[in-house]
Amino acid sequence: MTPRTGHVGLNVTDLDRSLAFYRDVLGFTLLAEGKEDERRYAFLGSSDGDARPVLTLWQQARGPYGEDRAGLHHLALEVDSIDQVRTYEAALRGQGVAFAHEGVVAHREGSASGGIFFHDPDGTRLEIYAPTGAEGAPAPSDSAPTCGFF
């Protein structure tokens, strides 16, 4: 048996700013928070009532995300439908978030899966996608997966 992903931990520069983004814009639920100086963190869960953390934010970063360093490439968040992807897209646009591609794009040419690609307040690359519904959406590259190069 291979292990399953339990939760993802992200280092952030400003916990309050990142918590507002992940909670208020993306809809995660705050499960627990550490407010002690030099030990600030937030455990976030899904909005379906499951009490397990799926994302943790640690206020430990001294600078923005660096895509040129080893470590997290991007965080992909799956939803059930392309309509849900578009709902998130509208909410993110309302917050002034910039996107790597215009609108919903396919994961590769002819793929049924696809989504939106953007960055969090610290520059961490994020993707919200649906496994189906992106048929006919453009693919930024003919040969490389969209999520690999943004």
Q: Which residues share a beta bridge with 9? A: 56
Q: What share of the chain is helix, strand, coil (3-state, %, to 5)?
A: 20, 25, 55
Alpha-carbon distance of 86 to 121, in angstroms, equals 20
> Both tokens of residue 4?
């399953």
Locate 110 and state its tokens. Answer: 């002819």
Check if 109 is active-site.
Answer: no
| Cα–Cα distance, 104 to 57 (Å, whole number) | 27
Angstrom distance (rounded) from CA 144 to CA 52: 34
Give the integer Cα–Cα distance in Å for 13 and 61. 5
Identified catalytic residue from 36, 38, 127, 135? 127
Name which of 103, 74, 107 is nearest 89 in CA terms. Answer: 103
Q: Which residues are catalytic?
A: 127
